Structure 1
Amino acid sequence: MPKTLNPLQLVADRWQPSARFVRRASLACVVMAVVIVVTGGAVRLTQSGLGCPTWPTCTEDSLTPTPEMGINGVIEFTNRMLTYVLCAIVGLAIVAARARAPRRRPLTRLGWAQFWLIASNGVIGGITVLTGLNPYIVALHFLAATALLTVAVVMWHRSAEGDDEPRDLVPRPVRQLGWVLVVATTLLILVGTVVTGSGRHAGDAKKDVHRIPLDWHEITQLHVDFVYVVVGLTVALWFVLRAVQAPATPRRRVAELFVVLMLQGVVGYVQYFNDSPEVIVGTHMFGSCLVWIAVLRVFLSLRGRGEAATLPAPSGEHEALAPDQPAAASSR
């Protein structure tokens, strides 16, 4: 009986990407996940949420925006098209991870998880349009994008380490404090979506868009309270890491998180006291992605899985892989 051909195996038989290429492809997924969040925010902030009033086509009679729809249709349609760019980059990361030898199934699984998250969020985006920018669906759309960013960051991190059983690099109570930081930041993001859903940027100026019936100032204050909690946990974690003489990488990651939080705090206060100008709100959304990435990097740096395995490569391959090995060790 003839053997079934696997397209990914055919690629692996003919192409052997370097460890550095796999890491860069994984990083590209992270970058595009952030781009999707920021451009999605731009759609809302430019009142283009219903620039294409239906889905999956732009209008009932046209796949693309028509001249009568103006710039709002172009902005909304462009954001939709960026999804295909994201799919292409994730596809490249999947193929690179599959072709890399020795084969690392966790990396390919993380790549496929991103693909299915993109597909599901595309459907959620369509429901967002069909429900007239329902704020709860909009919030779900953002949270799904955040889930995609989470998986992309994990894949990026895992691409630089091995597949050994995870081992703690700090005492278990410190790891638990890291978990508390992740949970607090998750709540911060959740409350942030409620702030968005009750705020003045509904996403479309031509239609009376339903908003979450909460006082925007009160929910914003709750959001600020969670910011203080996250900052306090970050400072506490930094002191604890110093006290237990943790490796340099976790301490550096926590310092990076603190800097990002301070910058994001400045942007948040400028936004609040200037009645949420569109450019500042967009910057705040970009900052929220950076905060979440920094928190994940802190948490992931508290444990290690050994060094990534390398090939018993043919002649000339060792020279190509050598520059990657210090990078893999230093990023654990």
Structure 2
Amino acid sequence: MPNTLNPLELIARRWQPSAAFVRRAALATVVMAVIIVVTGGAVRLTQSGLGCSTWPKCTPDSLTPTAAMGINGIIEFSNRMLTDVLCVVVGVFIIAARARHPRRRGLTRLAWGQFWLVMSNAVIGGITVLSGLNPYIVGAHFLAATALLTVAVLSWKRASEGDEEPRDLVARPVRQLAWLLVAATGALTVIGTVVTGAGPHAGDAHKVHRIPVNWQEITQLHVDFVYIVVGLTAALWFTLRAVKAPAAPRRMVGELFACLALQGVIGYVQYFMGLPEIVIGFHMLGSTLVWICALRLALSLRDRGPLPAGPEEPAEKSEAAQPVAAGSR
């Protein structure tokens, strides 16, 4: 075997992670992506967006917050430090995906995709501070975090399935309905970002520029899209049962329903209580869970076979390897 200076190649020669370890590493990236979204929201809701006055340092003269900056500086700096934890988690997944045999280039690319999204969003976060919390940059910062969550969910799914050509588990119109649901959920997330950018929680105690739209109208549009997403979810729930789809997607559409119901309750509570910060924080957490459920549901409607077995490992069965009723084809 030729010599190489690639550290990942050297690790792969000496360490063979199990399929379960790779799956857990992928799941850890999903968890960290959710945490980053929620803690980023906490920075804004506690008016700590400018707790560190510059970037990449916390102040022009200090890398870390000073006593004079108070709790806001600690909150903002702590959120920055969480990015380091996220980098470690993503790094473990990159190493595990690369070291796993047989080598799966698609999974490794997804892992590296997460790394570059983390780096890109760190820069966007810095621009957010340097721009004085420009609401458009803040929105881009959140959407980039959502993109990271998306790739993390895709990685988690790919770490649990094989590399065969995708096999449809339901008819094409059903899959199209599922992806329409994903698109509507994505639009709901984007509109929610605009609601945030136009709303009262700017991220700092001083006056910060807001997106110049009517907050009541954009909030109503957000609610309208909630009804669209709920309607599409209901349609998919009935459709999956009508075509006798496999158990996994039927279970996942129920999970999505539960998340939407909880998110709806939280949304109305925060609206009628005057947007309390803690409730908004739970609403942000709920938005990540809804997005995860929608993605997993759409991805569950195809099967790529069992995971390729590593050295001296028995082949695993595909999670979706269930008979499909003739009527669903």
For residues 85 and 188 of structure 2, the distance between their equivalents in structure 1, rounded to whole angstroms, comes to 29
How far, CA to CA, are the matches of 1:60 and 1:45 in structure 2?
A: 25
1:161–1:331 contact (8 Å) kept in structure 2? no
> In the alignment, what sits opposite 2:99?
99
* SS in structure 1 at match of 2:32: helix
In the other structure, the counterpart of 2:24 is: 24
- Give the count of matched residue pairs: 321
Please list every run of at least 4 consecutive aligned residues from structure 1 whose deviation after the TM superposition is greater than 4 angstroms: none
- Partners of 2:193 and 2:123 lie apart in 1 by 19
CA distance in 2, matches of 1:213, 1:200: 12
Residue 132 (structure 2) aligns with: 132
**Deviation for aligned residue 1:240:** 0.8
Q: In the alignment, is the contact (CA less than 8 A) between 1:249 and 1:331 conserved in 2?
A: no
Q: How far apart are 1:208 and its partner, in Å?
A: 1.3
Checking the alignment, whether the CA contact within 8 Å between 2:13 and 2:99 is kept in structure 1 is yes
Query: Aligned equivalents of 1:307 and 1:255: distance in 2?
Result: 25
Deviation of residue 244 (structure 1)?
1.1
8 Å contact from structure 1 (residues 238, 255) kept in 2: yes
TM-score (norm 2): 0.95
Correspondence for 1:304: 303
Q: Secondary structure at the match of 1:329?
A: coil
What is the CA distance between 1:311 and its match in structure 2? 2.0
Q: Is the 8 A contact 1:8 1:98 kept in 2?
A: yes
Amino acid at match of 2:319: A
1:264 and 2:254 correspond: no
Structure 1 partner of 2:327: none
Q: Which amino acid aligns with 2:268?
A: Y
Amino acid at match of 1:87: C
Distance 1:4 1:279 in 2: 52
TM-score normalised by length of structure 1: 0.94
Taking only aligned residues, the RMSD between alpha carbons, in angstroms, comes to 1.3
Identity of aligned residues (%): 71
Alpha-carbon deviation of 1:9? 1.1
Instruction: Kindly provide the amino acid, as one letter, of the partner of residue 44 in structure 2.
Output: R
| Residue 59 (structure 2) pairs with residue 59 (structure 1) | yes
Secondary structure at the aligned position of 2:50 is classed as coil
Preserved contact between residue 128 and residue 134 of structure 2 (Cα < 8 Å): yes
Tell me if the contact between 2:246 and 2:320 (Cα under 8 Å) persists in the aligned partners. no
- Separation in structure 1 between the aligned mates of residue 35 and residue 311 of structure 2, nearest angstrom: 38
C-alpha deviations, 1:184-239, integer Å up to 9, x for none? 0111001000110011101000x210001112121111100000000000000011
How far the C-alpha of 1:331 sits from its partner, in A, is 8.9
Q: Please give the residue correspondences for 1:239-278 in structure 2 after superposition, counting only pairs within 5 Å.
A: 239-278=238-277
In structure 2, stretches of 5+ residues that fail to align are 323-329
